[in-house]
Structure 1
Amino acid sequence: MRKSNLKAGFLGAVLVCASLAQARVVGTFERHFSVSGPTNLEVLTRSGDITVHSGPAGTISITGRIHVGDTWLLGDRNADVKSLESNPPIKQDGNSVRIDYVNMRNISIDYEITAPADTTVSSHTGSGDQMLDGLHSRITLERGSGDIKLSRIQGEMNVHTGSGNVVADDVSGGFTGEAGSGDIRLHDRSGDVRIRTGSGNIELRELSGGLHAEAGSGDVTAEGKLGGDWELRTGSGNVNVRLPSDTAFEVEARTSSGNLHIDAPVTMTIQGNVGREQHAISGKVRGGGHLVAVHTGSGDIHIE
């Protein structure tokens, strides 16, 4: 029994050490690129986190942290790590900087990047988180899995992740976002918004443009001013819409199974009483305006 316990303890220690070793950074590098005028940044990775901050004009600075998955064999990978440190997969062509894939088994790189605020950013990555802050340009992000966080972005944003959450805080501009599974939370002060998630909740705040939001399953919440038509759909989940108290709009709301409530008086185009439970309402509020269309397969609808 004693030998068995000792063996189990040894194996547990080995697993803990292996876990710590796998998380260890085994190499780093820094590169600085001079640019002028409109700048483009492209990032291609199979795995690894990406962080981009706005910085001074004229320079893109990149710090890479190299991780090796099989650190028990690090002695065999030292040459690969040293090669990446001396010759990272980064190229400059005029005002365009491209970070390319790492074609080495079980090696990933986390990137921390500082770029001029007007840098156009595009990324195509396999797994890992992305964070962008303070840019005033077009953003295009495609990720297989991992969370995406945007803050203080001004410009057109196009974001796709297979699985993971999308959070955009204090942004301005048109926003298109899609997640196969995961929540989407957006605070967008201007621009039209198109959102879709296969499974997950959608939460939208301080909107002022048009809106199309769709969830396969999950709750949908939208607050803001109508700058265009709003359409909100979910296969199963509740939908809550909050508008300024003096907003004039047309409404089409339907739930297959659930309660439907609109706080404002509605001039009905079909028979019904808003004060009673019902599954569909179509009409005008304060004489009508932009359309607010809300549909849920199973769930409650509340418009206030």
Structure 2
Amino acid sequence: MRKSNLKAGFLGAVLVCASLAQARVVGTFERHFSVSGPTNLEVLTRSGDITVHSGPAGTISITGRIHVGDTWLLGDRNADVKSLESNPPIKQDGNSVRIDYVNMRNISIDYEITAPADTTVSSHTGSGDQMLDGLHSRITLESGSGDIKLSRIQGEMNVHTGSGNVVADDVSGGFTGEAGSGDIRLHDRSGDVRIRTGSGNIELRELSGGLHAEAGSGDVTAEGKLGGDWELRTGSGNVNVRLPSDTAFEVEARTSSGNLHIDAPVTMTIQGNVGREQHAISGKVRGGGHLVAVHTGSGDIHIE
């Protein structure tokens, strides 16, 4: 028994040491690039995080933190780290700056970047997180399995993650987002919104444009003002819609096996009583307006 405990303790210590080695930052670098006028930034990583903040006009500043994931197993990687510190994979072409992939085994770089607020950003990471704050430009982000967080963005936004979550707070502009198996939370004060998630929940607040939201097996919640038609679909989740109390709209709502409730009086175009539980309702609220179409396979629908 004692031998077994010693063996387990030894293996635990090995795992802790390996974990610490993987998490350790072993190198850093800084680079500064002068730009003028419209600026483009492209960032490509396999497993590093990307953070971009808005900063003063005329300069893109980049700090890189180099991580080595195999120092304990494969020995010294100092030569590779020194090579990256002196010659990071960054190139400038006029007002465009490109950060390229690291072509070294088990080495990743986290980037913290400050760029002019009007910088157009395109980025892709295999398994790292991405965070952008304070930019007033077009944003295109992709991640294989990392989270994406946006705050104080003004402009067209297009984001995609395979198995991470998407959070966008205090943003303005058209938004297109997709998550394969993560949640999407969005507070968008203007612009049309198109959202899709395979097996996560969708939560949308302060909307004022058109909306198309689709979840394979999650709940969908949407609040805001109608600035266009709204369409909300989920395969097996609940749908909740909240609109200002004086909103005029047309409604088409259907659930295969759940309950359906609309708080406002509906002028029905099919026979039925809104006060009772229904599986389908079609009609007009306060004379009609933009269409609110809601469909769920096996969940409840509530429109208030």
Shorter-normalised TM-score: what interval?
over 0.9
Q: Contact 1:136–1:154 at 8 Å: present in 2 too?
A: yes
Change (3 A) 1:2 1:237: closer
What do residues 79-115 of structure 1 show as CA deviations (whole Å, max 9, x unaligned)?
1111000000000000000000001110100000000
The answer to whether the aligner puts 1:8 opposite 2:24 as a matched pair is no
How far is the alpha carbon of 1:5 from its aligned partner?
3.4
TM-score, normalised to structure 1, is 0.98
Shift of 1:23: 0.5
Describe the superposition over 1:184-218 as per-residue Cα deviations: whole angstroms up to 9, x where unpaired: 00000000000000001000000000000000001
Which residue is equivalent to 1:131? 131
Residues 278 and 64 (structure 1), Cα distance of their counterparts in 2 relative to 1, 3 Å cut: same
Contact kept in structure 2, 1:22 and 1:69, CA below 8 Å: yes
Q: Tell me, in whole angstroms, the C-alpha distance in 1 between the residues paired with 2:156 and 2:192.
A: 10
Alpha-carbon separation, structure 2, partners of 1:244 and 1:112: 41
SS in 2 for 1:84: helix
- Conserved in 1, the CA contact under 8 Å of 2:127 and 2:144? yes
User: Following the alignment from structure 1 to structure 2, what is the Cα–Cα distance between the partners of residues 8 and 215?
Assistant: 44
Tell me by how many angstroms 1:278 deviates: 1.1
Contact 1:62 1:114 (8 Å CA) reproduced: yes
Please, which moves more after superposition, 66-75 or 32-41? 66-75
Deviation at 1:75, TM superposition (A): 4.1
Indicate conservation of the 8 Å contact 2:130/2:147, yes or no.
yes
Matches of 1:81 and 1:239, distance apart in 2: 51
8 A Cα contact 1:175 1:192, kept in partner = yes
2:77 partner SS: helix
Q: 1:4 deviation in Å?
A: 4.3
Displacement of 1:125: 1.6
- What is the Cα deviation at residue 74 of structure 1? 6.2
How far the C-alpha of 1:78 sits from its partner, in A, is 1.1
Contact 1:208 1:227 survives alignment (8 Å): yes
1:13, distance to aligned residue in structure 2 (A)? 1.6
Decide whether the 8 Å contact of 1:130 with 1:149 is kept in 2.
yes
- The answer on whether the counterparts of 2:49 and 2:125 sit within 8 Å (CA) in structure 1 is no
Residue of structure 2 equivalent to 1:238: 238
Could you tell me whether the CA contact under 8 Å between 1:66 and 1:110 is conserved in 2?
Answer: yes
How far the C-alpha of 1:77 sits from its partner, in A, is 1.4
Give 1:154's aligned residue.
154
Name the stretch that deviates more: 73-82 or 120-129. 73-82
CA distance in 1 between partners of 2:5 and 2:257 (Å): 57
Q: Please, what TM-score do these two structures have when normalized by structure 2? A: 0.98
CA contact (8 A) 2:209 2:228 kept: yes
- Cα distance, 1:260–1:79 mapped onto 2, change above 3 Å: same
Structure 1 window deviating more from structure 2 (40-49 vs 12-21): it is: 12-21
Q: SS of the residue aligned with 2:272? A: coil
Flag the structure with higher strand content: 1
Give how far 1:6 is off: 3.1
CA contact (8 A) 1:165 1:183 kept: yes
Tell me, in whole angstroms, the C-alpha distance in 2 between the residues paired with 1:10 and 1:286. Answer: 72
Q: 2: distance between equivalents of 1:204 and 1:293?
A: 16
- Cα 1:240/1:3, change in 2 over 3 Å: closer
Q: Alpha-carbon deviations, 1:144-178, whole Å to 9, x = none? A: 11100000000000000001100000000000000
d(CA) in 1 for partners of 2:148 and 2:79? Answer: 33
Distance 2:211 2:76 in 1: 53
| Distance across 2 between alignment mates of 1:3 and 1:222 | 59
8 Å contact kept, 2:54–2:114: yes
Q: Which runs of 5+ in 2 are unaligned?
A: none
For structure 1, which runs of at least 5 residues remain unmatched after alignment?
none
Q: Which moved more, 1:109-118 or 1:69-78?
A: 69-78
CA contact (8 A) 1:68 1:74 kept: no
**Contact 1:30–1:64 (CA under 8 A) maintained in structure 2:** yes
- What SS does the aligned partner of 1:127 have? coil
Q: SS in structure 1 opposite 2:233?
A: strand
Shift of 1:251: 0.2
Q: What RMSD in Å do the two structures reach over aligned CA positions?
A: 1.0
Deviation, structure 1 residue 10: 2.5
State the 1:8 CA deviation.
3.1
In the alignment, the residues of structure 1 paired with residue 63 and residue 213 of structure 2 have an alpha-carbon distance, to the nearest angstrom, of: 37
Q: Does 1:41 align with 2:63?
A: no
- The answer (yes or no) to whether the contact 1:131–1:150 under 8 Å persists in 2 is yes
Distance change in 2, residues 1:9/1:279 (3 Å): same
Question: SS in structure 1 opposite 2:287?
Answer: coil
